[in-house]
Amino acid sequence: MKTNLLCCIIATCLPALLPAGVSATKIADLLKPHVVLDDFTVNAPPLIGHTASGAGKFALSGALDDKACTIVLRPKAGVWDISAYSYLRVDITNRGEGIVWIRGRLDNEGAVDWKDSSSSMAYLLPGERATLGFPFQRPESADDSAAIFYPLGARPNGFRYHWLPFKPDAVIACRLSIRSASDTLDLQDIQVSLAQPFGATANARLLELPYLDQFGQVRQLDWPGKLRSEADLAARNKKEIRQTRNDPGPASFNRFGGWNSGPQLKATGFFRTEKYKGRWWFVDPEGRLFFSHGANSIGFDQRTAVKGREALFAWLPSETDLGDALQKGNVQFMIANLHRTFGPDWKSHAYDRVHRRLRLLGMNTVGAWSDPELYQNATTPYTPIIHVWRGQNPLGKNVPDPFSAEFEKRVEDGLRGLLGPAGSDPWCLGVFIDNELGWYEEFVHNALAGKPDMPARKAVFAFLQGKYDVIEKLNAAWQTQYKSWETLDAFPKESEGFEQDHKELKRLIASRYYKVCHDLMRKVLPNQLYLGSRIHKASPEIMEEAARYADVVSINRYMPLPATQLPAGLDKPALIAEFHFGAPDRGVPGVGLTFVGDQLQRSRAYAAYVLDAVLQPNIVGTHWFAYTDQSAAARPTVGKPGENYQIGFVDVTDTLYPEIMQSSRQLADVMYSLAETDSMDLLPLLQSTWSKKKSKSAAW
């Protein structure tokens, strides 16, 4: 009752918070050049000339060795301190004949990719001017916003959190790695500038409360596509139906999304994998080759916590208003907006729209963590996931004890709960078990140091005692001085003998994990594929064991391009289970784990990533994370800033982003035909694809 009263008061007073005649700040204005950065030297290879052209601009032109070069901009003295701003941009005009791909990186001392650096990229067609934009992160200690904004990973004062470090007050270089479809380079009117002043003082208006409006949008900002009224929701839905009612999706798709005019293989009634003409594929139940083009977290859950943060919201529903949009202390604006669009029966309409949209996007897979109700009507293939480690991870981050009976029981119970009594479904592409296990943590050490009755510890000791018989032999191999087996409870200093055993112990534990999962999949769901554990980082031993037992090795890869690095000689199908790109120009302040400057570049980065995957002989699919933006007020989290990323195909009002929608569909229209190409040169294929007329569905 108190919460609802407070919300009514805030909503009543809302007009007073925006003085008459004052409009919201346009994001485009925040991101415009504010200060030109010109105190740098240009280091270029001998064949590339660089010339100054006034107003802080310069040009790069010349011959490219192997169609690539690296340009490094360095401060004339000391370091750049760009901490007074939140966005660095490099504006470039491509006067050359070929498409140009630029990967940019801002470097601290000792920078490598994903460490002491901040990266971005841009694709420029011939004749085009575009922005290579860096919405960079900074240390938590630099934030000066009010405490109520702490749970937000990115905040209205320009602060952006990232789990890897970058210090904007100590930039030693801006590195531009350039690839071109042409043998020559001609980049003109290049200008480096800073935008979006940082800090509470510079952004006082953006920090005014309430932060979100009644639709869950950032109230004090304006951008193309921002919702203005409830009436616009219905109008947008009617327009979408009108413009897409005659579009069944890519002509190359059969009912499952497989290649309807491609080779006809054996139809088994379920999905499987097969190597066909030198490359791996999924094969759909009708025997058609299938590339899994999908997205994760498809549904309507964009929850953000309310308790103690009521002042962030201009409006909150009661516990029974608008389709139960307020649940367990979290508000879900997506549900409220769908209720406003479709009324009390919003679910059936919203589910139908999702499936229709997936076809419009050229997507054929509902990825992990999606709403199970989307699985029910035999419309789009899907990939459910179970989590075994939750509440039972004694070996480290997300790592269960695979030797324990509890582990086996959890896996079996989880699998039995997925597909009902029948235990099979032709529309189920496969099942993930767990996500991003901490195979890179010291899980072997945790087994060594575990309690005497820990099954994993017993297995580790059985291996060592079987190999060395007595502790003296182990000491000789490890160069240690353990007095007995009972005193062996921690990693020793590095030695050749220990390193070899460490690899074998990693293999021992991982092998047990993947074997149990595989065997229980065959027992409980014999007709479905085992899609692995969505590996984020792991040593070759782990990857090899995953490939030994999983039907498909799933990998979460947040990089500019997929190029899955399976261990040499490992011939196995791989699925990119997570990737994304975010941009700062549409109202959600976070930009994800890999970021670009704007929606155009986000859409191009997406298409390039998926196309590169299509060209790889072992990649059988890509799943984007995630279908919807996260709440600008952050998803609930404990102990660290919560993600609030602009990474969706749709925003909080369930409106599609047209740029990435167009790019996804344009790619899907040619996806299967490009799989037959002899060319592995990504850039000319991108240039050809993007130069073609957009499909009819993409026009809206």
Find, among 346, 318, 274, the residue nearest to 552 by Cα: 274
Mention every residue, 6+ apart, whose C-beta is less than 8 A from residue 554.
Answer: 432, 531, 532, 533, 534, 535, 574, 575, 576, 577
Specify the length of the chain in residues.
700
Q: Which domains are assigned to the chain?
A: 36-149+160-196 (2.60.120.430), 233-383+533-699 (3.20.20.80), 405-524 (no CATH)
Q: Which residue has 């002989």 as its token pair? A: 617
Quote the strand ranges of 170-295, DSSP E: 173-180, 184-197, 221-222, 272-276, 279-283, 289-290, 292-295
CB-side exposure of 326: number of CA atoms within 13 Å? 15
Nearest-CA neighbor of 257 among 281, 277, 279, 280? 281
Residue 695 to residue 700: CA distance in whole angstroms: 10
Which pTM value belongs to this model?
0.95
Give dist(CA 472, CA 478) in Å, integer. 10
Nearest in space to 273 (alpha carbons), one of 474, 10, 539, 532? 532
- Across 296-377, the runs of DSSP E, i.e. the strands, are 304-305, 326-327, 330-331, 365-366
CA distance 250 to 358: 11
State the first-to-last Cα distance of the chain, in angstroms, to the nearest integer: 43
| Three-state SS at 111 | strand
Distant-in-sequence, close-in-space partners of 185: CB < 8 Å, separation ≥ 6? 48, 60, 61, 62, 63, 64, 69, 96, 100, 178
Q: Which residues of the chain have pLDDT under 70?
A: 1-22, 323, 564-565, 693-700
Structure tokens at 578: 């997570």
φ/ψ of residue 428, rounded to 5:
-85, 110
Q: CA angle 216-222-224, nearest 5°?
A: 100
Q: Helix or strand or coil: residue 678?
A: coil
Among candidate residues 251, 275, 144, the one with its CA nearest the CA of residue 200? 144
Q: How far apart are CA 222 and CA 243, in angstroms?
A: 26
- SS3 assignment, position 30: helix
Sign (positive/negative) of CA torsion 470, 472, 473, 478? positive
Strand partners, 49: 61
